[in-house]
């Protein structure tokens, strides 16, 4: 496997492309906004003028776009991947999207002689830059094994979760856990500020105990100093939480903490903060 198409060169995709190129893969890239890809082109990635051009003639094609409707468009739309990828191509959607949509892609791919995997990621922009993403993969085990070198270039923890859609379901569980964790860190920071203790010292102290977490270590200091630059957009986290809520309801579950956290973020989005990082939830307590 040598030639790789890559659609979506945003905050995450850009670093993932770089890590693939470092491992010797030949990258063909497409993004709706070419300006987002100029650095990658200068570094050796080959620009494609359309989804169809990016899909044709590749050993594998990776997508990481914003929303389920974007996934649907690039796979099923006019000039989409499923119509233009060569038989035998491995299609890897790394967008966090609906498990039902991942199953639809898998079914259509099989009918066309293609291999499909849903492989959402966790670890944010930092994990993408360092090549240490957690990658949760759904699809056929043989297809997962065939793409091992691709996954190894981008991630540290790469696990086959089960059949098509399983990667997305595990990502939903991940986002449910993060919703509770990030809101907990936020409330700890808000409390420390309110009672007048040193916030940095508090984070260092509790980070060494049972409260220690990725969210505490990476987002706690940003909350403390008001750094709301995005590693992961609020608007994308809302999308994930809404998918998780719908999937939970489909399974007969009512996840109250998730609903509460989502409502807080929706309020921030309504204030124009959808493109801030998820740590900007601290703003909910600073009104």
Q: What is the pLDDT of residue 281?
A: 97
Q: Are residues 146 and 190 located together in one domain of the fold?
A: no
Nearest alpha carbon to residue 243 among 72, 99, 73, 105? 99
Distance CA 35, CA 94 (A): 22
Domain of residue 103, CATH code: 3.40.50.720
Q: What is the pLDDT of residue 234?
A: 97
Q: Are residues 239 and 134 located together in one domain of the fold?
A: no
Residue 287 pLDDT greater than 80, yes or no: no
Is 171 in the active site? yes
Distance CA 185, CA 194 (A): 14
pLDDT band at 231 (very low <50, low <70, confident <90, very high): confident
Q: Are residues 199 and 223 located together in one domain of the fold?
A: yes
Q: What is the pLDDT of residue 116?
A: 99
Q: Are residues 135 and 234 located together in one domain of the fold?
A: no
Contact at 8 Å (CB) between 34 and 8?
A: no
Q: Are residues 54 and 154 located together in one domain of the fold?
A: yes
Q: What is the pLDDT of residue 1?
A: 86
Count: domains in the chain: 2
Q: What is the pLDDT of residue 184?
A: 98
Query: What is the pLDDT averaged over residues 201-212?
Result: 98
Residues in the chain: 287
pLDDT tens, 29-43?
999 999 989 999 999
Contact at 8 Å (CB) between 241 and 264?
A: no
Domain of residue 253, CATH code: 1.10.1040.10
Q: What is the pLDDT of residue 148?
A: 98
Catalytic residue among 14, 130, 171, 222: 171
Q: What is the pLDDT of residue 125?
A: 87
Query: What is the pLDDT averaged over residues 138-163?
Result: 99
Distance CA 176, CA 244 (A): 7
Q: Are residues 117 and 246 located together in one domain of the fold?
A: no
Q: What is the pLDDT of residue 11?
A: 87
Nearest alpha carbon to residue 143 among 170, 115, 120, 103? 115
Q: Are residues 156 and 98 located together in one domain of the fold?
A: yes
Q: Are residues 127 and 177 located together in one domain of the fold?
A: no
pLDDT tens, 2-39?
999 999 999 899 999 999 999 999 999 999 999 989 99
Query: What is the pLDDT averaged over residues 113-123?
Result: 97
pLDDT band at 187 (very low <50, low <70, confident <90, very high): very high
Q: Are residues 110 and 185 located together in one domain of the fold?
A: no
pLDDT tens, 244-260?
999 999 999 999 999 99
Q: Are residues 153 and 177 located together in one domain of the fold?
A: no
Q: What is the pLDDT of the chain when averaged over all its residues?
A: 97
Distance CA 51, CA 191 (A): 48
> Which of 104, 136, 163 is the C-terminal boundary of a domain?
163
Residue 126 pLDDT greater than 80, yes or no: yes
> Which of 133, 163, 193 is the C-terminal boundary of a domain?
163
Task: State what percent of residues in the chain have pLDDT above 70.
Answer: 100
Q: Are residues 178 and 251 located together in one domain of the fold?
A: yes
Q: Are residues 232 and 194 located together in one domain of the fold?
A: yes
Q: What is the pLDDT of residue 36?
A: 87
Distance CA 117, CA 97 (A): 12
Following DSSP, what letter does each residue of the chain receive, concatenated? --EEEEE--SHHHHHHHHHHHHTT-EEEEE-SSGGGGHHHHHTTPEE-SSHHHHHTT-SEEEE--SSHHHHHHHHHSTT-HHHHSPTT-EEEE-S---HHHHHHHHHHHHHTT-EEEE--EESHHHHHHHT-EEEEEES-HHHHHHTHHHHHHHEEEEEEEESTTHHHHHHHHHHHHHHHHHHHHHHHHHHHHHHT--HHHHHHHHHTTTT--HHHHHHHHHHHHT----SSBHHHHHHHHHHHHHHHHHTT---HHHHHHHHHHHHHHHTT-TTSBGGGGGGGG--
Domain that holds residue 67: 3-163
User: For residue 158, what are the β-bridge partners?
Assistant: 135
> Which of 163, 183, 217 is the C-terminal boundary of a domain?
163
Q: What is the pLDDT of residue 38?
A: 96
Distance CA 230, CA 96 (A): 17
């Amino acid at each position: 496997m040598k030639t790789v198409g890559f659609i979506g060169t945003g905050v995450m995709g850009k670093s993932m492309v770089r890590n693939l190129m470092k491992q010797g893969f030949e990258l063909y890239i497409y993004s709706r906004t070419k300006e987002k890809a100029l650095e990658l082109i200068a570094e050796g990635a080959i620009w494609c003028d359309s989804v169809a051009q990016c899909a044709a003639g590749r050993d594998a094609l990776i997508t990481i776009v914003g929303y389920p409707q974007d996934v649907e468009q690039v796979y099923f739309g006019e000039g989409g991947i499923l119509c233009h990828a060569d038989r035998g191509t491995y299609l890897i959607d790394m967008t966090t999207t609906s498990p039902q949509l991942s199953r639809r892609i898998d079914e259509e791919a099989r009918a066309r002689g293609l291999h499909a995997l849903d492989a959402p990621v966790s670890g944010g922009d930092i994990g993408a830059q360092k090549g240490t993403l957690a990658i949760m993969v759904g699809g056929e085990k043989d297809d997962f094994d065939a793409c091992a070198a691709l996954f190894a270039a981008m991630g540290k923890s790469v696990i086959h979760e089960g059949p098509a859609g399983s990667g997305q379901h595990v990502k939903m569980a991940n986002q449910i856990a993060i919703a509770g964790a990030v809101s907990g860190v936020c409330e700890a920071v808000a409390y420390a500020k309110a009672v007048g203790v040193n916030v940095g010292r508090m984070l260092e102290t509790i980070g060494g105990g049972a409260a220690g977490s990725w969210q505490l270590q990476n987002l706690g200091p940003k909350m403390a100093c008001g750094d709301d630059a995005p590693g992961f957009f609020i608007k994308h986290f809302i999308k994930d939480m809404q998918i998780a809520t719908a999937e939970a309801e489909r399974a007969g579950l009512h996840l109250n903490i998730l609903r509460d956290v989502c409502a807080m973020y929706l309020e921030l989005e309504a204030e124009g903060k959808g493109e801030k990082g998820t740590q900007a939830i601290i703003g909910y307590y600073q009104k």
